Structure formats: C-alpha cells, structure tokens
Structure 1
Amino acid sequence: MEMLCSLRTTTEAQRTALLQAPEALEAFLDDEEDFGDAKGSAFLELDIGEAWHGLQYLLTGTPWEGAAPLDFLVRGGEDVGDIASDEGTARIFTAEQVKSLSSALQQVTEKTLRSRYDTAAMQAQDIYPGTWDEPETEVDPLEELVSYFEELQKFVATVANRGEALLVHIG
C-alpha cells in the first residue's frame, strides 16, 4: 500500500469542527464543498505523494524525530484521528503554527537539503518509499525532493499569508 501525503488549508472553524468530530475527517478530505468557507475562500491543497518521508529526513536529518516546526510532516500539530476507512491519519496545525513553520521553511537552504541527501543512510533508516539505493530512473530522486521542497515552501507561505490552519494527511 502506498503512503501518500497531502496538505490542505482549513479555516479555524473547520479546524475546530474536525477536532470535535474526527469522524468527519474522511468526508472533509473527499468533498471540500461540504465544508466550504462562508467567506467563499477556496481551499488550497498540495500533494507531495511519496516524497513526504524523504523531505522529513532532509529537513530534520532524522526519519521520525527532529526539532519543531520542521518535523511537521510526521509530528506536531493536533491529531485529528484515524480515518474510518483505515486510510491513514491526519494532524492539524493552527494558523500561528503555520506562520512559524513558514518562517522556519524559509530559512532552509537547498544546500542544506543536498548535504543531507545520502541514499545509503536513507535506505538503512528505512526512509519511505525505501527505493533510495535502486539504480537511477528517469527522475533523479534528489532533484524531485528539492522540487517538492520548493513547492512546499511556497504553499506553506501562502497558507501563512492567508492566516489559515493546515491539515497534514498521510495515508
């Protein structure tokens, strides 16, 4: 089973509602119209697919630990709960936490990411998807991670500028 990651904006009202009724999470992820913003603000979503664990490793130097807020792909925020269909879990971050995260992401350089990229170490530490030591394909895994990181930086900055909360779903 693939483990994919998506990030999605939520309003403060949606964040509160999801924390109070985690059983609504699956519907929230499947149908944004049921949870529309009264102000008419469109939600934003970023799909980083299987890159989530590689990014976690490059951002923190660890598979599952690291300092907040850069460990946000695997830790932090508030746990919304397991999705009923057994398709993963989700955590949600307040607008203030998103602003802090955005600031931290802006401080990360491509040079730092590249210096932490070590296929043997990533394979040994079982960084998902676990194909780091396979012969190179058409797409260079490091270049793909750097590209996803740039998208992530922009996305989180936009969410912070909008003053919204952020849901991180891996499933």
Structure 2
Amino acid sequence: MSMSLTMRRFDPDLVTGLSNDDAVRFALNLPTENAPMAEESIDFFQAWHVVHFLASGSDWDDTLPAGFMIGGDYWAQAHPEEEPFRLLDAGNVKLANQHLHDLSDELVNERLAQLASDESEIYGSPIPAEAHDLVISAFEEIRAFFSKAAANGQAVSKAMC
C-alpha cells in the first residue's frame, strides 16, 4: 500500500506534450524545465486512505466520482513495479467536487464512526475519538482543494508513493 498521496491542481494546458519523465516530476511537484511548479499541491501521508473512505465509503473503489482519491486516467509511470500516477481532467474534477459537496455531514460522520472499529480494513484505523477532528479537517481540506480546482477549470494529478 502507498504511504503518501500528492495531488496537484493546475491548468490542463500545462501538461500537454510532457514527456513521461517530466510528467512524473510534475506530478511529484518537482521542478522541471518544461512545466512550472503547482499553483497548489496537497500532500497526504497515511491519512489519504481514511479520507478516501470518508468520500467513497469503500476501501479501494476507484470508480469516479466517489473514488476520485485513487481513480482517474493513468498518466505517468515512475517505476515499472508501481501503479502509474493518475490524472483527473477538469470535467472529472467538477464531478468529484460535486460529489464531495453532496456528501452530508451525517454520512461523513457515520463513516468516521465505522473507522473507530477494529474491524475496518482502512489503513490508519481504528481512528481514536481524539483524532476525529484531525480526520474531519483533512476531509475539509480536500473539499476546499477540489472546490478551487473546479472553480478554476483545473485538472488534478495524483502521485501515490
């Protein structure tokens, strides 16, 4: 399982014609000659799997829009043994954003309560009660990130390492 997830939001025109190596560097938010650094990036370490569960209600479903954290088009390959980085085009970003805002606080809190169980298969669970505010904060950070990306017609790249 990947330990971290880096997401970048950006103008989709920035990645047109990038080589695989430049796309990998871009997805990781590393400097490249052919593309600028991200307008905004977000890094999740172990918390990404918890946020994915809050958004999708599943451990590994990558079906869009609910599975936006791990779903999307294959884009760039960093290592042959690892899954390629993924890309959400501007249309899928808008769908993911709508999905995030359609989730009721009640449903998100129900899913968070499920993560307090020892039976959960989600990495990082069980989530102790004293960490619930941190998890909700991370979830709200993703909502804000996708709201900005959708409002600006941006795409989102995802690098799981």
The two structures share one fold, judged by TM-score above 0.5: yes
Structure 1: distance between partners of 2:130 and 2:108: 14
Partner of 2:134: 144
Whether contact under 8 Å (1:7, 1:167) holds in the other structure is: yes
How high is the sequence identity, in percent, across the aligned residues? 23
> Helix, strand or coil for the counterpart of 1:53?
helix
Q: Give 1:110 deviation, angstroms.
A: 2.3
Q: Name the residue aligned to 1:128.
A: 123
Report the counterpart of residue 116 of structure 1 in structure 2.
111
Equivalent pairs counted in the alignment come to: 158
Q: Residue type matched to 1:65 in 2? A: D
Output the aligned Cα RMSD.
Answer: 2.8
Question: 1:22 is matched with which residue?
Answer: 20
Distance in 2, matches of 1:23 and 1:32, equals 11
- Specify whether residues 93 and 54 from structure 1 end up closer, same or farther in structure 2 by C-alpha distance, changes over 3 A only: same
> 4+ runs of 1 displaced by more than 6 Å?
85-88
**1:94-113 equivalence runs, <5 A:** 94-113=89-108
Alignment of 1:38-53 (within 5 A): 43-53=39-49
Instruction: Give the CA deviation at 1:157.
Output: 0.6
TM-score after normalising by structure 2:
0.81
Structure with the bigger percentage of helix: 1
Moved more, 78-87 or 58-67: 78-87
Unpaired runs of 5+ residues, structure 2, are none
Q: Taking structure 1 as reference, are residues 81 and 140 closer, same or farther at Cα in structure 2, changes over 3 Å only?
A: farther
Name the CA shift for 1:36/1:67 in 2 (closer, same or farther; >3 Å): closer
- Inter-CA distance 67–126: structure 2 relative to 1 (3 Å threshold): same
Question: Runs of 5+ in structure 1 lacking a partner?
Answer: none
- Counterparts of 1:93 and 1:85, CA distance in 2: 21
- What does the per-residue CA deviation read over 1:68-118, in whole Å, with 9 as the maximum and x for residues that have no partner? 20211122x211133149786421011111112111111112221110122
Q: Which is worse superposed, 111-120 or 150-159?
A: 111-120
**Under a length normalisation based on structure 1, what TM-score does the superposition of the two structures give?**
0.77
The 1:67–1:112 alpha-carbon spacing in structure 2 relative to 1, beyond 3 Å, is farther
